[in-house]
Amino acid sequence: MTIQYSSYVVTVTLLLLVVAAASSRQKLSMAAPTTLPGCPDKCGNVSIPYPFGTQDGCFLPGFQIICNHTFHPPRAFFPAEYFRSGPDMVYSKPLIRTEHVYYNNTQNGDDMPRGISSFSPVELMGVSVAEGKLQVRAPFCYKCKLNETHHSYRNTVLIYFPDRSPFFLSEQSTVLMGIGKYPITAEQRSGPSCQAYVQSLDQFVNGTCSGQGCCQATMLPQTHYDTVTMESHDHNDCTYAMLVDKSWYSFTSLDLDGDVFLRRNNASGVPVAVDFVITNHSCPRHGQQVPEGYACTGDNTICVQLPLDDDNEGYLCRCSQGYQGNPYIQNGCQDINECEKPDLYPCHGTCNNREGEYECACPAGTKGNAKEEQCTEMFPLP
């Protein structure tokens, strides 16, 4: 009777251990949520993490995204709104404005330029809530001779986010860039310009943008909108000026001849990096009551205060150290298993993951800081 009872206890214990292990594996394998319950987390191929959203109740004020299902796959846009007030256009939402100029040389000498302005919504390409960054798609300025009697150029591109909106053209990631063989000057409304030209064909280096065939200039901090224009030599086949995410473009001499760059990128545009911030609020001080509308409400999150111009306040939410995910939603920040990422979290000994951190111990008989260096024997042989 005693033997049977002991076997029963062992069997039940083993079953409980198996169930607990399976439950732990299921918890580890569950993907962290990226948006609020019941809200779409994608628009076509673009992830839409909270505080962004495409439906009512799914986004913070100012972070609405329109999912346009007339495209296949659907594409994500910021809502656009503009209207004419007298001779001026008034913008109240993010938008892109371009100006094209056409020249038609005819036998009677009519070569007067003809300009056309167009407006379009800002398209969202991707969001990183961990970095507080997003990418948008934008056109670029170009001047290309199509043939002997006709050429056109896009001489102005405006990328616009309203003042006091949550969005700024990224000072760290976005640059003004100009590309051309003969002198070209790329200019922006509120920042430095740059000039590119080729003194000698053996002076420029592919992959660099230091003035030889390619130039770049930095953005001013906290720029909500900017206008790009350019001036170029008439001998150029094609010249270009653009705001662009500097990690996207690598200069090549092939872009100096013909219209290779134009044909490759005109339809798709180029990516522009944009920073976002939770505006009109600040991080609560220690012991202070959390204000209404505070965005960093999830577990294992921290608030990062950001200094803004114009007496405005703003902050970002981050996951606490040892956690990753979306800090703007409940259970969005989850533990990092550092032992599964030795390239990012080195361990030269025995790794043991813990909630929010990890341990790395030297094997028995050895000593040292196993997170930083190889362990050494405590009692090495002579």
Query: Rounded distance, CA 73 to CA 294, Å?
Result: 34
| pLDDT, position 182 | 79
| pLDDT, position 87 | 59
- Backbone φ and ψ for 338, nearest 5 degrees, come out as -65, -30
Which helix (H) or strand (E) segment holds residue 226: the answer is strand 225-232
Query: Rounded distance, CA 68 to CA 79, Å?
Result: 11
| pLDDT, position 145 | 75
Residues of the chain with pLDDT under 70: 1-30, 83-89, 103-113, 146-150, 201, 234-236, 310-311, 381-382
- Count of CB atoms situated within 10 Å of the CB of 164: 13
Residue spans per domain, the chain: 78-276, 281-335, 338-377
Query: Rounded distance, CA 200 to CA 208, Å?
Result: 15
| pLDDT, position 4 | 46
pTM: 0.83
Six-digit token string for 146: 């199509």
| pLDDT, position 88 | 67
Residue 119 CB contacts under 8 Å (≥ 6 apart), including other chains: 80, 82, 89, 95, 96, 97
| pLDDT, position 140 | 95
